[in-house]
Amino acid sequence: MTPMNKRINALFLSCLLLLCMSSVHAAVPSGMLAGDNPSLAPMLDEALPAVVNVVVTGKPQQMPDNPLFNDPFFRRFFDVPDQQQRQTPRQPTAAGSGVIVDADKGYVLTNHHVVTDAEKIVVRLNDNREYDAKLIGDDPETDIAVLQIKTDDKLTELPIANSDDLRVGDFVVAIGNPFGLRQTVTSGIVSGLGRHGLGNRYEDFIQTDASINPGNSGGALVNLKGELVGINSAILSRTGGNIGIGFAIPSNLVNSVYQQIAENGEVRRGRLGVVGQNLTADLASAFDLDINQGVVVAQVMPDSPAAKAGIKERDVITQVNGKDIDDFSQLANAIGLKAPGDKVSITLLRNGKQREVKATLGNAADAPDSVGGDSASAESDLAAGLQGATFGPLTDDNPLAGEVEGVVVKDVERGSAAARAGLRPGDVITSINRQPVKDVSQLSKLAGPDVKQLLLHVRRGGGALFLLIR
């Protein structure tokens, strides 16, 4: 390489470095990367006063009254206090974290599981000021609780960001009270978005590798601007310690619950009135659709907002208020985090054609529980996928009698093709390949031995689903 080329390359790299540094400076608050010591300290100076420790005293627990515990050996073995100590009930205590989101009103957000069964709650600020806190309301289904402290002292609040703007790879900082160590800061990135299956009914977790440990629950996950993007809630761990997989409830979900609790003292959830399932590639093929994301409507509850809006079985819901719906968890969040009386716009596919309907949500508290003579045996006269099942008519003593027409699955042999396909005793098959089934003879015609694929619409308890059998 010639000296001239070396100089050109050096100049190019210098310009590239300056460009990268300029873009980083533009993305974070002024001063964080200034000088020779890049630091999160300027942002944390603003954020730390808004993150608090939450100390909870539980209800007194009387020690077990058992004659065995009169023996000193058994008391030591089970770690039971001596007789004198047993006279006084123990009051369990726990420590968690919280976030001040309204300095004027003294509102503090934390997790429901931090304050459940609390008899006394104390909020401690990072400057050691302490205040008794009142539980305004909590929501076990999202694991959010709202506390309030009353004081004339000056408080600091965290601004709430739009968590929909988060992307995998964004830098985040977790602030909390792990293991009772008082305020502790850890940093990392957003490792994943839209995580489900951690135990809450309404979930849309942010996954992060910023260290989250016991005691961090209820603390803040903030972006580099010092804005609240999530409430730290859970970890995935085999030992109880951090392994780099932590979860935070996104701020948009938190804010929706917080606003309702602050206004009403409770969460009132909207209800659409459908039972649905995720649109799989197999179901999409069965419905002749060229999409593989959405929610198939398996059942529409009578007189529900969905029924009044004109939604029908086999519709595929793809959007709510213009936001894509990829699976049933997203639909549950989109509806359950709205209030009764809210109006929603629902985009759906019906027979391959897109439609848009408007629905006024009902109250989930008013919904019934849901979302669970002659006979024929599936031998050579029925499709291979039904082998091992016995079918019979829908009799008058069936809970679904008078509500639907169909054929009852009377028995399913363990390990049979029907069992592997997902059929269960008590299921009621109402249609096969989109054709209604009224009796066993019709079942035999629609599901004969030459039929290679069966799309069954099944009523199961108070719910419904589609089963694709090949």
Whose structure tokens read 């008391």?
75
Tell me if residue 217 is catalytic.
yes
Spot the catalytic one: 138, 143, 315, 427.
143
For 7, half-sphere exposure in the C-beta direction (CA atoms, 13 angstrom radius) is: 3
Distance CA 46, CA 154 (A): 14
Closest CA to 400 of 327, 442, 337, 458: 458
The residues, ordered by sequence, that sit 6+ positions from 6 with a Cβ below 8 Å of its Cβ are none
Distance CA 32, CA 39 (A): 5
Spot the catalytic one: 97, 112, 113, 315.
113
Tokens of 207: 């996954």
Phi-psi region of 458 (alpha: psi -120 to 50; beta: other; left: phi over 0): beta
Tell me if residue 143 is catalytic.
yes
| Partners of 80 in the β-ladder | none
Phi-psi region of 322 (alpha: psi -120 to 50; beta: other; left: phi over 0): left
Spot the catalytic one: 163, 191, 217, 256.
217
Which residues are tagged catalytic? 113, 143, 217
